[in-house]
Amino acid sequence: LESWELQVSHVLTKAKDLNWDSTETDEALLESQADFNAGISILCAVFTNNPQWNTWDEPGLQWNFFLQSGEEPPVKATKVDLITLNEADQERYYPYVRRWHKVYRVTFPRKDTHGTPLWTPLTPKLIFQVHGTLGELDLAWKFPQSLQSLPQH
């Protein structure tokens, strides 16, 4: 999960590391802003023993993705993209990813069907759900109570 501030920080760090000029940095920030506006993204590095199971990005296959906020009904992913990392980025920014992993960006809408935001400082937990013919996986992030008691502006 990424906040806009974290995405800006990532782009600026990468720009400094690669000695980008202001035009390249601005282009990367605009691209990052578009990604952020598209919805909530979760990056996943996946390895399976059988490569035929590691096909999250192929439409019509066995995988479904959901994001559940607190006790609300889960929301289905709007998009799954295979991400290609160059070796330098992989080593610097994603050291846990190895050459046999596939990296996916799973995108969800920022709001549920009722217009309620999926993720706010008051959200007690988020659950990323992967459902398929091979089984189910739920990854939960439980947020500290201190976040829930922050003053709202």
- The CA distance from 101 to 46, in Å, is 5
- Whole-model pTM over 0.85: no
pLDDT at 21 over 60: yes
Confidence grade of residue 61 (pLDDT, cut at 50, 70, 90): low
Instruction: Read off the pLDDT of residues 81-138 as tens digits, 9 standing for 90 and up.
Output: 888 877 667 777 777 777 777 888 899 998 888 888 887 777 888 899 998 877 888 9
- The CA distance from 76 to 112, in Å, is 9
Q: What's residue 48's pLDDT?
A: 74
Confidence grade of residue 22 (pLDDT, cut at 50, 70, 90): very high
Q: What's residue 151's pLDDT?
A: 52
Length of the chain: 153
Q: Give the number of other CB atoms < 10 A from CB of residue 11.
A: 20
